[in-house]
Structure 1
Amino acid sequence: MTDNRDGSPESTFGALGSELRLDILQILESAARETASRLTFSDLYERLDIESTSQLSYHLGRLDGVFVQKFGDKYGLTQAGERVVRAVYAGTYTEHPSFDPTPIDGTCPHCEHTALRAAFEEPFLSVTCRECGETVAKYDLPPSQAVGRTPEEILQSCDRRVYHELGMALDGTCPTCGGIVDASSRQRTSPRTEEYVVTATCRRCFNQVYAPVELCVFYHPALVAAYWSDERDATNVRPWNVYSYTAEWVVTTVSDNPFEAHVETDVIDERFVVTIVDGAVTIDIE
Structure 2
Amino acid sequence: MTDGASAEEAGPSDPETGRKDDEADRRSDGTDRRVERRSPDETFELLANEVRVEILRALGDDPRETLGFSELHDRVDIADSGNFNYHLDRLVGAFVRKVGDGSDGDADTGESGGGRDGAGYELTRAGQQIVGAMYAGTYTTDAAVEPISAGWDCLLCSGEMVVGYADERAHFWCSACDEGAKFSFPPGTVDQFDRDELPGAFARWYHHLMTRLFHGFCGVCAGRMDGEFVRLPGGTERNPETSLLQFTCQRCGTVASSAAETLATFHPVAQGFFAEHGFDVSARHPTQMWGELDACDVEILSEEPPRMEVRFGHDGEEVRAVVEPDATVGQVERRSRQD
Paired position in structure 2 for 1:141: 185
Structure 1: tracts of 5 or more residues without a match:
none
1:52 to 1:234, Cα distance in 2 relative to 1, 3 A? closer
Structure 2: tracts of 5 or more residues without a match:
1-32, 102-118, 335-339
- The number of residue pairs the alignment matches comes to 277
Is residue 25 from structure 1 mapped to residue 56 from structure 2 by the alignment? yes
Paired position in structure 2 for 1:199: 246
Residue 105 of structure 1, CA deviation:
1.8
More helix by percentage = 1
Residue type of the partner of 1:285? E
Q: Which has the higher contact order (CA 8 A, sep 6+)?
A: 2
The counterpart of 1:160, out of the listed 194, 204, 212, is 204
- Matched ranges for 1:1-286 at <5 A: 1=33, 3-5=35-37, 7-30=38-61, 33=64, 36-40=65-69, 42-50=70-78, 52-71=80-99, 72=101, 73-114=119-160, 116-132=161-177, 134-187=178-231, 191-193=239-241, 195-241=242-288, 244=291, 248-257=296-305, 259-267=306-314, 268=317, 271-277=320-326, 280-285=328-333
1:109 to 1:20, Cα distance in 2 relative to 1, 3 A? same
Instruction: Compute the RMSD of aligned alpha carbons.
Output: 3.1
Distance in 1 (alpha carbons) for counterparts of 2:126 and 2:197? 30
1:152 to 1:209, Cα distance in 2 relative to 1, 3 A? farther
Distance in 1 (alpha carbons) for counterparts of 2:331 and 2:206? 19
Residue type of the partner of 1:184? E
Q: TM-score, normalised by structure 2?
A: 0.69
Q: TM-score, normalised by structure 1?
A: 0.80
1:231 to 1:58, Cα distance in 2 relative to 1, 3 A? closer
Residue type of the partner of 2:36? N
1:220 to 1:44, Cα distance in 2 relative to 1, 3 A? closer
Distance in 2 (alpha carbons) for counterparts of 1:122 and 1:61? 37
Q: Is the 8 A contact 1:215 1:242 kept in 2?
A: no
Residue 192 of structure 1, CA deviation:
3.5
1:10 to 1:227, Cα distance in 2 relative to 1, 3 A? closer
SS at match of 1:147: helix
Paired position in structure 1 for 2:22: none
Paired position in structure 1 for 2:7: none
1:50 to 1:109, Cα distance in 2 relative to 1, 3 A? same
Residue 142 of structure 1, CA deviation:
1.3
